[in-house]
Structure 1
Amino acid sequence: MLNTSNNNTRKMIVIHGGHFSSLEGFYEEISKVLMKDTDWKVGTLDGFNDILYGGFGIFESHEEIEILWEESEKSRKDLGLIATKEFYENKIRKGKPFNIELVRQKLKDLTEGKGQTLFEILVEIIESHRNIILKLD
Structure 2
Amino acid sequence: MTVTYVIDGSGITGLDGFWAAMGEAVNGPGGYFGRNLDSFADCLRGGFGTPADGSFVIEWRDHARSARALGHEETARRLEGLLTRAHPTHRAHVERELAEARAGRGPTLFDVLVGIIREEAGPEALRLA
TM range (shorter): 0.7 to 0.9
The one-letter amino acid of 1:17's match is: G
Counterpart check, 1:11 vs 2:3: yes
TM-score when normalising by structure 2: 0.83
Calculate percent identity across the aligned residue pairs.
28
Q: Indicate if the aligned counterparts of 1:36 and 1:57 stay in contact, CA closer than 8 A.
A: no
The structure whose residues are more often strand, as a share, is: 1
The answer for unaligned runs of 5 or more in structure 2 is none
Amino acid at match of 1:122: L
Match of 2:13 in 1: 21
For residues 73 and 104 of structure 2, what CA distance do their matches in structure 1 show? Answer: 12
The reply on whether 1:118 has 2:105 as its aligned counterpart is no
Q: Distance in 2 between matches of 1:57 and 1:38?
A: 13
Distance 1:123-1:115 versus aligned 2 partners, 3 A rule: same
| Aligned equivalent of 2:85 | 95
> Runs of 5+ in structure 1 lacking a partner?
1-8
2:60 to 51, 61, 69: 69
Residue aligning to 1:86: 77
Pick from 4, 9, 31: which aligns with 2:23? 31
Following the alignment from structure 1 to structure 2, what is the Cα–Cα distance between the partners of residues 76 and 101? 27
Do the aligned residues in 1 keep the contact of 2:50 with 2:56 (CA within 8 Å)? no
Q: As a proportion of its length, which structure holds more helix?
A: 2
Residue 19 of structure 1: CA displacement? 2.5
* Amino acid paired to 2:57: E
Distance in 1, Cα, partners of 2:79 & 2:30: 30
Distance 1:112 1:39, change over 3 A: closer
- Give 1:56 deviation, angstroms: 2.6
Q: Give 1:81's aligned amino acid.
A: H
- Superposed displacement of residue 79, structure 1: 0.4
**Structure 1: 4+ residue segments shifted above 6 A:** none
* Structure 2 CA distance for aligned equivalents of residues 44 and 72 of structure 1: 19
The count of corresponding residues between Structure 1 and Structure 2 is 127
